[in-house]
Amino acid sequence: MIAIAVLGHGTVGSGVLEVFNKNHESIIQKAGEDMEIRYVLDRRDFPDVPYHDKFVKDFDVILNDPEVRVVVEVLGGLNPAYDFVRRCLEAGKNVVTSNKELVAAKGAELLAIAREKNVNFLFEASVGGGIPILRPLSQCLSANQIVEIAGILNGTTNFILTKMFREGMAFADALALAQQLGYAERDPSADVEGGDACRKVCILASLAYGRHVNPEDVHTEGITHITAEDVRYADAWGGVIKLIGRVKKLEDGRLFAMVSPAFISRESQLATVDDVFNGILVRGDALGDVVFYGRGAGKLPTASAVVADVIDAVKHLKARKYIFWEPAKDGYVCDYLEVPAAMFVRIAARNRAEALRSVHGLLGSVTEVVAPGVENEAAFITPTLPEGEIARALQALQALDYTILSTIRVLDY
């Protein structure tokens, strides 16, 4: 009998209990070992749940029970999750987590402890919720060099952008609706400012390329500045705006990573990923593009990914799975301003023809974009140039007294 402990009885934690109990028989069969959830750690009391006798408030009870071989951390946040997970691994217990903040900040350190102690540290649910992505990336695509990864990694912002596109809602209204439906937190900043997607990009990048990437090294823009006019331009151009997290290896061995809103063509497989869904495109050198699509969050989808990791941990109590990456290194993540991009730009302009002449002088040949009913401005897509060059040209344009209304990258996935 393998004993399991669950740290945290919030949304995901209670979902883990629900999935584990509902599909108990087939889970045991797939794991090949009998298992029980012996402890649930939470500061609060839950007298009404059928498993109320499993609750403990003292972490040491779990740490000191040698029969607990797998610990599920679903507290979220860095503290006390980091301390608990580190001590569990050091005590030779396997750990499964859905905590993207923890993995993005401390993944390399925790994986090193897991390797030293010959246990598993698994975190499939930390990216894409229930969508299988980390295991396919590390196992199924293992014969490929990963060329790049680009994904819609945050369901809340994707819901907001979908409402802005389909129903012409303003950002603030779409956000309010997302909050009302429970898709967005009362403090939505981690979602709408791109921080959540950034952590997921860091985890994907660390796993795909074998070296830890810290969130603070990834240029991150959110969607708070996206307006109804931007949406109309994207539509007129033949695409949609999505918050895209992406990462690729440069030829010199450094890494490029970014989170930002982007124009993508309606023909893209990512363009049809709407509402709270996530979609992740992985480009392999042998494989070409594969896309993984599904619910990137939610109680039961996330919990089912956690429980699948528990099954995998139990099956690999003897043979450790090979998931590992090196610690972060200075200079590994490049400055995004070095990397070529094409940019959609809107500038205030009473005289559009004159404005575009000034733009042409600074940026060369641009592609004008016209949105029906939008007046007193000019909009265009720049040639593909290093972002630093584009930024300098736009500064020069401001020096000519043009106001920059909006800049959004144009991607080609």
Query: Which residues of this chain interact with a second copy, rule CB under 8 A?
Result: 15, 19-20, 22-23, 26-27, 30, 32, 124, 130-132, 135-136, 139-145, 269, 272, 284-295, 298, 300-301, 303-308, 310-312, 315-316, 318-319, 322
Instruction: Tell me whether residue 10 is annotated as binding.
Output: yes
Distances from the Cα of 27 to the Cα of 2, 24, 35, 152, 304, angstroms: 13, 5, 9, 30, 11
Nearer to a second copy, 40 or 141 (CB): 141
Nearer to a second copy, 33 or 42 (CB): 33
Nearer to a second copy, 272 or 367 (CB): 272
- Catalytic (active site) residue 93: no
Q: Give min distance, CB of 78 to a second copy, in A.
A: 26
Instruction: Tell me whether residue 100 is annotated as binding.
Output: yes
Instruction: Tell me whether residue 32 is annotated as binding.
Output: no
Nearest to 199 by CA among 83, 90, 303, 97: 97
Instruction: Tell me whether residue 249 is annotated as binding.
Output: no
Nearer to a second copy, 128 or 188 (CB): 128
Q: Is 304 exposed, middle or buried (0-12, 13-18, 19+ CB in 10 A)?
A: buried
Q: Give min distance, CB of 366 to a second copy, in A.
A: 30
DSSP per residue over 113-164, as a string? HHHHHT--EE-GGGTTTTS--HHIIIIITTTS-EEEEEEE--HHHHHHHHHH
Q: Give min distance, CB of 261 to a second copy, in A.
A: 22
Q: What is the CA radius of gyration of the chain?
A: 23
Q: Is 245 exposed, middle or buried (0-12, 13-18, 19+ CB in 10 A)?
A: buried
Instruction: Tell me whether residue 13 is annotated as binding.
Output: yes
| Backbone dihedral angles phi then psi of residue 144, each to the nearest 5 degrees | -100, 150
The one catalytic residue in 200, 242, 248, 321 is: 200
Q: Give min distance, CB of 251 to a second copy, in A.
A: 16
Q: Which helix (H) or strand (E) holds 233?
A: helix 228-237
Tell me which residues are annotated as active site: 200
Annotated binding site for NADP(+): 7-14
Residues contributing to the annotated binding site: 7-14, 100, 185
Known binding-site positions for NADPH: 100
